[in-house]
């Protein structure tokens, strides 16, 4: 019974994350458009896009292609289940940050497996960049997580959230400001927003991993992106913004983080891949290490 309930809850959370992610991207397009002096699409444009993509006939590039994408998508769906979102917390005792990050890495690896079987060099370069970039942002992010772990003395997101309860001043944002900045920069990389969007870089490698994806595959890719967006901002909310008491506040906090990322996205060009990685390993890593040192000492 519980399992069934959890399953239903899980599906619900997955759907919610997709919906919220898509809406975020939609609103994000609108906001970016404003900075670019135009109106932009309606906020629900992304739902049209997804629906259309899923209704298209698609070309597969072999079994590994399909499998990789499905693996990636399901890994992300699994990850979102473990994320505590306000009062919604399906596995209150199992919300291990390590597991979530592990599952998210799985998603990338699944994607890598898929697209590299398409044989398009652009996709290969793209996925290589994605993995390199992951190396880039995971290192400072790991440093930050390390300091948060040490600071909160727990590995569970739910407990980290609980540790921050009791007002704004208890938030890790205030307590671990260097860590927050480092994580925020890493988040930019995780979201694939500029200046860290070398993975898709249309003008260089023609949208990279997505180059051979059409129709349903691209639709799943976009869904994956929206879940990823939800999880990544969600982790940040849980880690630094004190979680939330209910889902709406949680989403609002997520949006604030996404908005900040959007602002940078709108005014920054993209790094070259090695610039991006070295930037990650310089400034945010330094902040993360400083934070860890502060926490440890």
Interface with another protein (CB under 8 A), residue total 55
Which residue, 59 or 252, has its beta carbon nearer to another protein? 59
Write down the least CB distance from residue 166 to another protein, Å.
34
CB nearer to another protein: pick between 167 and 269 = 269
With CB under 8 A as the contact rule, the residue among 6, 34, 153, 282 that binds another protein is 34
Bridge partners (DSSP) listed for residue 88: 85
Q: Choose the stretch contacting another protein; rule: CB under 8 A; options: 57-65, 80-88, 228-236, 244-252.
A: 57-65
Q: Which is nearer to another protein, 122 or 164 (CB)?
A: 122
* Dist CA 108 CA 134 (whole Å): 9
CB 246 to another protein: min, Å: 28
Assign residue 73 a region (left: φ > 0; alpha: ψ between -120 and 50; beta: otherwise).
alpha
Angle formed by the axes of helices 2-35 and 45-55, to 10°? 120
Least Å distance, CB 191 to another protein, is 14
- Which DSSP helix (H) or strand (E) runs through 16? helix 2-35
Please identify, using beta-carbon distances, which residue of 197 and 232 lies nearer to another protein: 197
Task: Please report, to the nearest 10 degrees, the dihedral formed by the alpha carbons of residues 22, 27, 28, 33 taken in order.
Answer: 130
Which H, E and C letters describe 177-209, residue by residue?
HHHHHHHHHHHHHHHCCCCCCCCCCHHHHCCHH
Binding mask 176-215 for another protein (x = CB under 8 A): ------------------xx-xx--xxxxxxx--xxxxxx
Q: Rule CB under 8 A: say whether 93 interacts with another protein.
A: no
Q: Which stretch binds another protein (CB under 8 A): 33-41, 145-153, 163-171, 289-297?
A: 33-41
Using CB under 8 A as the binding rule, whether residue 171 contacts another protein is answered as no
119 touching another protein, by CB under 8 A: yes
Residue 166 has a CB neighbour count (10 Å cut-off) of 10
Helix intervals (H) in 36-120 = 45-55, 63-81, 97-116
């Amino acid at each position: 019974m519980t399992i069934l309930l959890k399953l239903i809850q899980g599906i619900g959370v997955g759907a919610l994350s997709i919906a919220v992610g898509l809406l975020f991207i939609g609103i994000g397009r609108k906001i970016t458009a404003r900075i670019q002096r135009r109106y932009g699409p309606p906020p629900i444009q992304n739902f049209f896009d997804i629906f259309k993509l899923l209704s298209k006939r698609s070309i597969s590039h072999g079994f590994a292609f399909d499998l990789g994408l499905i693996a990636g998508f399901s890994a992300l769906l699994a990850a979102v289940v473990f994320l505590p979102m306000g009062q919604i917390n399906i596995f209150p005792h199992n919300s291990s940050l390590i597991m979530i990050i592990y599952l998210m890495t799985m998603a990338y690896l699944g994607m890598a497996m898929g697209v590299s079987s398409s044989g398009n060099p652009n996709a290969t370069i793209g996925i290589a960049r994605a993995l390199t970039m992951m190396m880039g942002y995971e290192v400072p992010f790991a440093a930050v997580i390390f300091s948060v772990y040490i600071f909160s003395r727990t590995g569970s997101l739910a407990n980290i959230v609980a540790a921050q309860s009791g007002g704004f001043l208890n938030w890790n944002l205030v307590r671990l400001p260097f860590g927050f900045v480092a994580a925020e920069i890493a988040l930019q990389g995780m979201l694939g927003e500029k200046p860290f969007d070398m993975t898709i870089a249309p003008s260089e490698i023609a949208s990279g991993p997505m180059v051979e994806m059409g129709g349903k595959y691209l639709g799943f890719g976009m869904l994956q992106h929206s879940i990823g967006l939800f999880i990544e901002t969600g982790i940040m909310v849980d880690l630094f913004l004190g979680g939330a008491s209910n889902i709406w506040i949680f989403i609002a906090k997520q949006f604030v983080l996404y908005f900040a990322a959007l602002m940078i996205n709108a005014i920054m060009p993209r790094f070259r891949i090695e610039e991006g990685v070295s930037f990650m390993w310089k400034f945010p890593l330094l902040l993360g290490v400083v934070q860890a040192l502060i926490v440890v000492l």
